[in-house]
Structures are given as structure tokens and as C-alpha cells.
Structure 1
Amino acid sequence: MKAGRTGDGSLAPDIDSILDRAAALLHAGELVGVPTETVYGLAADATNPVAVARLFERKGRASFQPISVLCGSSEMAFGLLANVPESAARLAARFWPGPLTLILRKRAEALPDLLTAGLPFVGVRIPDHPLTLALLERFGGPLAAPSANRSGHLSPTTARAVEDEFGEEIALVLDGGPCRVGVESTVVSLVHRRPILIRLGGIPQELLEEEIGSVDRETDSPCLSHRHYMLRTPLFLVRTPEAILLPERKEAGFLAWGPCPEGFSLCRSLSLTYRLDEAAGNLFRQLHELDDCGLRRIYAVLLPDRGLGCAINERLRKAADASASSGNLPEGGYASSPASPSSS
């Protein structure tokens, strides 16, 4: 069941009763789809091992992959942790609520080991979405909330995509409208002497470094699993649309950066005006649309490799690599050079 917004996009007049129902379902160990500014999450009571186990089962998620949690305040988040270094406090003060997950050492008794895959660390963040913040306040505790998709599928950025993914397997989906950011949160580990950027996302690396100095990059992490972006349709990254011959375009889709080129069976533009923020918000929705149309293949170009463009390119490369690893890509692999105007 979907609830939360009316047909014109405004909040439903019975939102209090909807939030009460959602909180009651969570306290009973059920799963609820929730909106955030990044992607929709599949939420469970983070302190309930049975609910967390149900979350792993519904997503088809490997038990060795830890799940991060959503909190309604810094006090709630920091209350789960054994200590909070100054760097974490500074990042939280600047970017929370927002698309930043901080990995820190947890208090042993605060969360079940299943949630963190037996590791002594946990990822925490405060989402920047009024509906889910209201739910967190109503619920009164942290929510385990990975993206609301089965493992290996694209992350959802609308309530409809969550419904299409899980149907009656979850009791309720809160409809908060399309996700504003559209790519997952940036993930930073602060458990070592130097901060490590685990995953590119809604907060660019440059902004993190403005606050806490240089940040190392991690390239071997469960967060970077290529299978997380598996498409049914092969994805082929090219340098420019001109590299694709006209006969090859007839049964193909194209994910454009700027205006759509001619000749493709279906084209979607991440941003006609070369805006990276708009492109991030459109990425998963447009990949879903192209993937659902029965095309033989999808072509895409990479964006300028800076700011949010880095996060978008990372997800496109993962999806293309997943296609290649399953033997779906056409000969020639894919190119990684962006060929488009700069954006603001």
C-alpha cells in the first residue's frame, strides 16, 4: 500500500494517521518503504534482530554486507556510537540532515550484530526528507534502511518503483515524491587515523575536504559491489553518440547528456541544460525507464568527472561492468572519456 501524498503531490491530509500506522508497523517488526533525498529506503527497526533478518531476506542481501541506519537527530545517531571524533562532529554539523553516511565505531549493545555483519562499526546518517524525519520522531529510534530494491537491482527514486519491486511483500510505502538528489549518500569511514571515502554520492569529495582536509579513496568495499547496478538490458558506454552507427540505433536506447541524438528507439536526457544536480536526480528513474522497454541495448556517455558527475559516472560504470561480467555487452567494451560541455 502506498500512502503519504495526494494526487497533486501535496502531503495527504491524514498524514498523522499514516505516520502512526507506519510507526506501529515498524514496532511490530514489519518493513516500510520510506523516502529520502537520495533514494527510497526499505526501513526496519534497527534494534530488532528479527526485523533486520526479515530485511536481509526481502532484499536478498548477503549477510556479510552491513546495513547503515537512519536517525532523526545527531543525538540519536551519536548515541549509537562508542566515540565521536571531532571530524565526525564537523561533518555532521555541516552536512546533516543530508546525503552523508558516516561510518564510526558502535556501542556494542546499541545494535544487533546481524545489522553490522559482526563488525564493530556502523554507518549513520540523518536524511533530509520531512516525511521520514517525522516518521523517525514518531518511531523514536534508529531505522535500518538500505535502498528499497532487491540486491542487484537499480535503486528506486519514486514510491511507484518501490511498489513495483516488492508489491504486497511490504505493508506500506510512504510516498514522499521523487527523490531530490537521486543518487545514494556519500559514505565516509572515520574509524582509522585518516578519513576514507568509501562511496561517492550526494556530497562531492571537494566539499568534504573543505571541512576536514584530504580524504583517501577506498576501492575495495562491499559498498562498491558491481552487482548492485545490474540491468536486464546490456549497457554500453561510448565516447560520443556519433560513435554509434545509425543501423545500431534502431533497437537501442540512449541516455544522453544534453539534447537527445537522432535515430534511437528511445532516448532520455539526464539534463538538457547540462546541470549535474538535475542529472543525479534523473539517473535511476531514466535507467529504469530504458531498462523496462525491451530494448536490445542501452548506450550512455559519461559526464564531466567532477562534483556530482563523479558519483553519476561511478554508477554508470558499475552498471556497465555488471553487464560485461554477465556476458551481455557487445564487442568493444566501453569508453570512459566524458565528451560533453561543462555544467554548473
Structure 2
Amino acid sequence: MKTEIVSVDNLSTKELGYTQAVAFLNAGETVAFPTETVYGLGAVATNEKAVSKIFGAKGRPQDNPLIVHIAEKEELNAFTANIPKIAQVCMDAFWPGPLTIILPLKPNSLAKNVTAGLDSVGVRMPEHPVALELLRRLKQPVAAPSANRSGKPSPTKAEHVLHDLSGKIPFIVDGGATGIGLESTVLDCTSKIPTILRPGGVTKEMLEKVIGPVNESKSTDNAEAPRAPGMKYAHYAPNAPVYLIDASIQAVQDAVKSIHSNHEKVALIASEQFDGIEVDFFFSLGKENQLEDAAHLLYEALRSCDETEADLVLVPIFSKQGVGTAIMNRLEKAANGNWYKI
């Protein structure tokens, strides 16, 4: 399969890009497109055969549910039922935006492989002009996880998608670099107290200002089907193993010295305060305490490690405040729980 990529930021190819994308989706194919978080790999959510192509292209486990993307709230009527009032409040406050809401599923309304057999579905309305334009033209809900090989860092540029999925999908809508850089927050509104299943750009603090107390869920163990993407499996990892380390210049210097004594090369992903440490490869996450910048740069830094000869990757930890919670969620997944110890 040849993978075609067309820019909709270019006036000469804009109409062609949308027309081809809609045609591919209507024909039961997959299409990658940008959202404000990361690039997604979409298929029409009512077409089971089309949705199965997402899992095949990504190498994604079948029990990992997909998020459904819509352009208008009215589309919810076709596949959800008994929407809780608190979910409506969240929609009014945060849609369009990086918030996925888990809602009760109307039976036999979506392809079964979208929800992994669950009686609920995650839905969001993306805040990206390209995604919204595509969804409005298509007039159908689109199931879409991130457009990368399963387990690898999510794509924030069209070329990342092409690198991972060239020859596995037919079409990429190039809408430039994404903004936030981390996947959406997933909020379960079917539980007694709304529960964050995956942290993201809409933080716990932001939610609690609008709806009151919010719980935070821990990752699902391997025996249990996850209720949302990103809960169960190791994710976001480059080829070299990732190790977390205390955010101390001395701790990182000592670690690097130890690694070099073993004749190994190390990549460091960190804020600019660590730039003076003599590592083999350094990838900046911006200025200290600028968490939004760190979130935006994280996946590209993880991907860049694969273009080096690093034997391992060190990442100083972030405070779990605001979007720092989402950053640490992704880093803990990338490291699979590993901490560097001398």
C-alpha cells in the first residue's frame, strides 16, 4: 500500500486533502489527521471492518478501546444513552477541547471493536480546525487512537505518522504540528464520582473548578480490560530503555558518570537547567517549570532518541501538579516503572 500525504495548510491542496480524506473514510479505509493533542488514526466508528484496520496498522491490542471523535453534540444521540448531567456540564465547559468523556453506550450503535466489549464509550470533540472540518464534512463519528505504532511515542507531526505507518495506511492529512502534544484527558462520567482514567491537557484542578470533586484512577492490571486508552500497557517508549531519575543536577551527573564508566551512551531529556551536563545527546523540554512547553516537546524528544546511538535515556521527573500529572503519566509508561539507580 502506498501512503499519500496531502497538506491542508496549503491553499492549492486544501480542498483535495479534505475531499480525499472523506472519500477514503467513506470507503472503509483509515486516515490520519491532526488534532490539538496528537495526530489520530481514524476510521468510521460504525464500520467494524474499517475499525479493524486501525488495530492492524498500529499493532494495537484488541482489548484497548478507542475514542470516538465528533464535530457536533447532536451526534451523541445516535450512540449514547442517559448522558449524566455532570457530563453535559463538562461538555459545555471544555468542548471542543482535549477532554474525552466516558458515556453510557447505546446498544448495537457502534462497531463492537471500538469499545472492546464495554457498555460505555469515550467521546470527544477536538479543538483543531482541521479535525473539525474533516468531521463536519464526513458527518459520521470517527474512532481514532494516536497515529503511531502501538507502544511508541505518539505523533505530533505528519512526518512522525509517515515514519511509523508508511505502507500501512492509505492517507495522511497534514495540518502541521499539533499544539498540546499530549493525548486528551479521559474522564469517566458513568461512575458515582467522576474519575480521571488518563490525565491530559484538562487537569484535575480545572475539572474540579467546574464540577467539584474528581477521583483519579490507577492503571489497570493485565487481567482486566481497560476502560480507556493508556491505562494498561507500556506506551510512548523509544527503542532505548527509559529511566526516570530525581530532578537533581547532582543525581543526574552521578548517573551519567556511572553510565559512561560502563562505556554506554546516554540521552538526557530534561529542562534547560540540565543542559550543562556532559551527556552524549540532550533534548530540551524548555525552561524549568514551564510544564506546557514540556508537554508540547515530550513526544518529539522521545522520538528523537531513536535517531541517536543512545544505550539508555534518562529523564528527570516533574512535579505532579497541573499538566505535570499528565507528563509523569506518560513518562512512567515510557519507563515502564524503571528508575535509574547507581
Deviation at residue 190 of structure 1 after TM alignment: 1.0
Residue 256 of structure 1 is aligned with which of 259, 267, 270? 270
Q: What is residue 223 of structure 2 aligned with on the other side?
A: none
Q: C-alpha separation between the residues in 1 aligned to 2:241 and 2:11?
A: 39
Q: Secondary structure at the match of 1:228?
A: coil
Alignment coverage as a number of residue pairs: 323
> Aligned pair 1:171/2:179, yes or no?
no
> Aligned pair 1:274/2:289, yes or no?
yes
Contact 2:33 2:172 in 1 (8 A): yes
Q: For structure 2, list consecutive stretches of 5 or more residues without a partner in the other structure.
A: 221-225
Q: What is residue 5 of structure 2 aligned with on the other side?
A: 2
Contact 1:106 1:121 in 2 (8 A): yes
* Deviations, residues 172-198 of structure 1 (Å, cap 9, x unaligned): 111111110000100011112221110
- Root-mean-square deviation over aligned CA pairs: 1.7
Q: For structure 1, list consecutive stretches of 5 or more residues without a partner in the other structure.
A: 333-344
Note closer, same or farther for the CA distance 1:251–1:220 as it changes in structure 2 (3 Å cut): closer
Counting only pairs closer than 5 Å after superposition, residues 276-291 of structure 1 correspond to structure 2 as: 276-291=291-306
Deviation at residue 330 of structure 1 after TM alignment: 5.9
Contact 2:66 2:115 in 1 (8 A): yes
Deviation at residue 304 of structure 1 after TM alignment: 2.3
Q: What is residue 298 of structure 1 aligned with on the other side?
A: 313
Q: What is residue 215 of structure 1 aligned with on the other side?
A: 214
Q: Secondary structure at the match of 1:115?
A: helix
Deviation at residue 51 of structure 1 after TM alignment: 0.2
Q: Secondary structure at the match of 2:193?
A: coil
Counting only pairs closer than 5 Å after superposition, residues 154-169 of structure 1 correspond to structure 2 as: 154-169=153-168
Q: C-alpha separation between the residues in 2 aligned to 1:89 and 1:330?
A: 44
Q: What is residue 232 of structure 2 aligned with on the other side?
A: 225
Q: Secondary structure at the match of 2:32?
A: strand
* Deviations, residues 56-93 of structure 1 (Å, cap 9, x unaligned): 12111222221111101111135421121111111011
Q: Secondary structure at the match of 2:294?
A: helix
* Deviations, residues 123-176 of structure 1 (Å, cap 9, x unaligned): 000011101111001111110100111211111111100000011211111111
Counting only pairs closer than 5 Å after superposition, residues 1-344 of structure 1 correspond to structure 2 as: 1-5=4-8, 10-221=9-220, 222=226, 223-239=230-246, 240-243=248-251, 244-245=253-254, 247=257, 248=259, 251-259=265-273, 260-272=275-287, 274-321=289-336, 324=338, 331-332=341-342
Quick one: which amino acid aligns to residue 241 of structure 1?
I
* Deviations, residues 78-122 of structure 1 (Å, cap 9, x unaligned): 542112111111101111111000001111132022211111110
Deviation at residue 265 of structure 1 after TM alignment: 1.1
Deviation at residue 287 of structure 1 after TM alignment: 0.9
Deviation at residue 38 of structure 1 after TM alignment: 0.7
Quick one: which amino acid aligns to residue 170 of structure 1?
I
Deviation at residue 331 of structure 1 after TM alignment: 4.9
Deviation at residue 297 of structure 1 after TM alignment: 1.1
* Deviations, residues 214-265 of structure 1 (Å, cap 9, x unaligned): 1111114333224223331111211123223354357211111233133111
* Deviations, residues 255-311 of structure 1 (Å, cap 9, x unaligned): 112331331111111112531111111010111112331201111111222111110
Q: C-alpha separation between the residues in 1 aligned to 2:297 and 2:340?
A: 26
Contact 1:226 1:319 in 2 (8 A): no
Q: C-alpha separation between the residues in 1 aligned to 2:140 and 2:53?
A: 18
Q: Secondary structure at the match of 1:253?
A: strand
Question: Between the two proteins, what is the percent identity of the paired residues?
Answer: 36
Q: C-alpha separation between the residues in 1 aligned to 2:202 and 2:238?
A: 25
TM-score (norm 2): 0.90
Q: C-alpha separation between the residues in 1 aligned to 2:76 and 2:159?
A: 29
Q: C-alpha separation between the residues in 1 aligned to 2:115 and 2:294?
A: 32
Contact 2:240 2:313 in 1 (8 A): yes
Contact 1:241 1:261 in 2 (8 A): no
TM-score (norm 1): 0.89
Contact 2:58 2:148 in 1 (8 A): yes
Quick one: which amino acid aligns to residue 270 of structure 1?
L
Contact 1:66 1:115 in 2 (8 A): yes
